[in-house]
Chains A and B, each alone.
Chain A
Amino acid sequence: RKEVEQDPGPFNVPEGATVAFNCTYSNSASQSFFWYRQDCRKEPKLLMSVYSSGNEDGRFTAQLNRASQYISLLIRDSKLSDSATYLCVVNTNTGNQFYFGTGTSLTVIP
């Protein structure tokens, strides 16, 4: 079983739509959670960390459900510039090992 699983998509949504991605992780001892964004032919970049209480950054909301071992990312009012692959990342804090999901592809259509 993979450490981190995501629906690869693709998600094709119109501008202005709200879209949600989920991710599940297998190691209940995982401590740190993140969403990274990767544009085509570029390196991954941190979008936001995910805290137990949930957190929001502008149009982006991340939530963590430890009991069910899943993480979500909600994007409101989608912009064309949101088109990218969104990577779910989990860190066990043991040896500082980061596990990446395969990514969810989002295309926002005019």
Chain B
Amino acid sequence: DTAVSQTPKYLVTQMGNDKSIKCEQNLGHDTMYWYKQDSKKFLKIMFSYNNKELIINETVPNRFSPKSPDKAHLNLHINSLELGDSAVYFCASSQGPGTSGQETQYFGPGTRLLVL
């Protein structure tokens, strides 16, 4: 059973298009995240949701809009795609804030986005 799954795995699209990436976790976790990993391999937090509520919203262009219909799903919609959006986007989940102090994050396989 896949713990954290993302679709699609690869996404190639033209500049200016709107696209969505979906994420689902079956671990019963309360918190989900979106990260962006650029060509320099730096993994940067974009958003975090806890029980469907936004708790972290880093400095990300407002073309990026996360949506959490329930605590097992966190989707990412991107409007007006730009060349600089090309990266690998990872979804992750963890049990939740402040429960044990040793929260492990479980990552999805990543979505490789290429904007042409």
Using a CB–CB distance below 8 Å, which chain A residues touch chain B?
Answer: 31-32, 34, 42-46, 49, 85, 87, 89, 91, 93, 95-100, 102-103
Contacts and interface: CB of A to CB of B under 8 A. Distances in A.
A31 B101 CA distance: 7
Given A43-B108, A102-B42, A96 B101 contact: no
A97 B90 contact: no
Nearest to B41: A103
B48 A95 contact: yes
Interface in B22-79: 31, 33, 35, 40-45, 48, 50, 55-56
A42 B109 contact: yes
A30 B11 CA distance: 36
Chain A binding surface SS class: strand
Contacts, number: 61
B107 A43 contact: yes
B101 A44 contact: no
Given A34-B104, A42-B109, A95 B43 contact: no
A34 B43 CA distance: 15
Nearest to A49: B102
